[in-house]
């Protein structure tokens, strides 16, 4: 009777823990961006956030969703990608609106064909399917241009995935690219800190949040036997986070004269 009563109690508790872990997996990744979004909205200043973070996470999560069609992993991981894509689009929309409102007399840049009625352009330009300068890639003036670029990327990669869906090598490579892209998100910050011999302007709080989140995520991958790509790249992501935290300790305990550089009020994954 005692064993049966204990099982009656443990089963729902185990289920609640599973639901809690799944919920944390789905929404935990977007939590660090909530205060960032609120700060940008409040200050109307987006200089402390790099939209290239959005680019990396959009690419990584689109590829992860396509990987799901070839290898059905757990649904919380799929929903995590969907929620992250929505979050990154919201961040892009806000950052674009804020940046454009703060720019004066700047030529408008577009992903799609330019509009000859644009008041910023004196003479109608030659129309083309893509009207962008590589130097201004992902630095466009309208949110719709980012949406068009994301849809184009999704369409092209989706079609390629459809053609090669029967190839296990392609599917496994696709999965690796998806999680490896996200795992490399902190490397530019790591390199920037190394170049400057300083972590000045970097949000340590944000790095700590991501380290705890990436650790939880990696443990979740391992315990739930997610595809091996997830576990390997999760461990790599934690390693990068720890390396950045070590930089914080070393450069604060043993300050070095930094090379001449422009301060970047940026953080690892919320640049």
pTM of the entire structure? 0.76
Comparing 131 with 68, the larger pLDDT belongs to: 68
- 71 found inside a domain: yes
- 27 found inside a domain: yes
- 211 found inside a domain: yes
Q: With pLDDT > 70 as the criterion, what percentage of the chain qualifies?
A: 75
- Three-state SS at 260: coil
pLDDT bin (cut points 50, 70, 90) of residue 110 is: low
Q: Mean pLDDT across the stretch 50-55?
A: 86
Comparing CA positions, the residue from 190, 198, 196, 189 lying closest to residue 253 is: 198
- 17 found inside a domain: yes
| C-alpha dihedral, 240 to 243 to 249 to 250, nearest 10° | -140
pLDDT bin (cut points 50, 70, 90) of residue 17 is: low
The DSSP letter of residue 103 is -
Comparing 108 with 61, the larger pLDDT belongs to: 61
Cα–Cα distance, 119 to 268 (Å, whole number): 38
pLDDT digits (tens, 9 = 90+) for 54-94: 999 999 999 999 999 998 888 888 999 999 999 999 999 99
- 128 found inside a domain: no
Cα–Cα distance, 71 to 92 (Å, whole number): 30
Q: Write down the pLDDT at residue 105.
A: 53
Q: Write down the pLDDT at residue 73.
A: 84
Comparing 47 with 266, the larger pLDDT belongs to: 47
Q: Which range has the top average pLDDT, 2-6, 125-129, 227-231? A: 227-231
pLDDT bin (cut points 50, 70, 90) of residue 132 is: low
pLDDT bin (cut points 50, 70, 90) of residue 107 is: low
174: containing domain: 11-104+138-253
- 117 found inside a domain: no
pLDDT digits (tens, 9 = 90+) for 222-262: 888 888 888 888 899 899 989 989 988 888 887 765 544 44
Q: Write down the pLDDT at residue 31.
A: 83
Q: With pLDDT > 90 as the criterion, what percentage of the chain qualifies?
A: 29
Tell me how far CA of residue 87 lies from CA of 27, 53, 91, 175, in angstroms.
Answer: 10, 12, 6, 21
Comparing 124 with 97, the larger pLDDT belongs to: 97
Q: Mean pLDDT across the stretch 139-166?
A: 94
Residue 208, pLDDT > 90, answer no
- 159 found inside a domain: yes
pLDDT bin (cut points 50, 70, 90) of residue 103 is: confident
pLDDT digits (tens, 9 = 90+) for 162-207: 999 999 999 999 999 998 998 888 887 788 788 888 877 666 777 7
pLDDT bin (cut points 50, 70, 90) of residue 7 is: low
- 21 found inside a domain: yes
Q: What's the domain count of the chain? A: 1
Q: Write down the pLDDT at residue 196.
A: 81
Phi, psi (degrees; rounded to nearest 5) at 74: -60, 140
Q: Mean pLDDT across the stretch 105-122?
A: 52
């Amino acid at each position: 009777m005692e064993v049966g009563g204990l099982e009656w109690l443990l089963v729902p508790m185990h289920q609640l823990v599973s639901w809690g872990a799944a919920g944390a997996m789905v929404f935990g990744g977007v939590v660090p961006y909530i205060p960032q979004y609120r700060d940008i909205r409040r200050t109307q200043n987006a200089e402390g956030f790099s939209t290239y973070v959005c680019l990396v996470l959009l690419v990584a999560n689109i590829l992860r969703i396509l990987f799901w069609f070839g290898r059905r992993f757990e649904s919380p991981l799929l929903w995590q990608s969907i929620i992250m894509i929505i979050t990154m689009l919201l961040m892009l929309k806000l950052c674009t609106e804020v940046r454009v409102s703060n720019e004066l007399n700047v030529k408008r840049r577009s992903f799609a064909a330019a509009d000859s009625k644009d008041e910023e352009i004196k003479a109608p330009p030659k129309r083309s399917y893509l009207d962008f300068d590589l130097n201004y890639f992902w630095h466009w003036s309208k949110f719709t241009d980012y949406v068009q670029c994301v849809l184009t990327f999704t369409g092209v990669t989706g079609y390629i995935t459809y053609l090669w869906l029967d190839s296990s090598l392609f599917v496994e490579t696709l999965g690796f690219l998806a999680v490896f892209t996200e795992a490399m998100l902190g490397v530019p910050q790591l390199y920037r800190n190394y170049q400057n011999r300083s972590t000045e302007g970097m949000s340590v709080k944000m790095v700590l949040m991501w380290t705890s989140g990436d650790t939880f995520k990696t443990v979740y991958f391992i315990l739930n036997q997610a595809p091996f790509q997830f576990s390997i790249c999760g461990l790599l992501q934690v390693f990068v986070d720890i390396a950045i935290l070590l930089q914080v300790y070393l450069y604060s305990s043993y300050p070095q004269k930094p090379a001449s550089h422009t301060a970047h009020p940026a953080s690892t994954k919320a640049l």
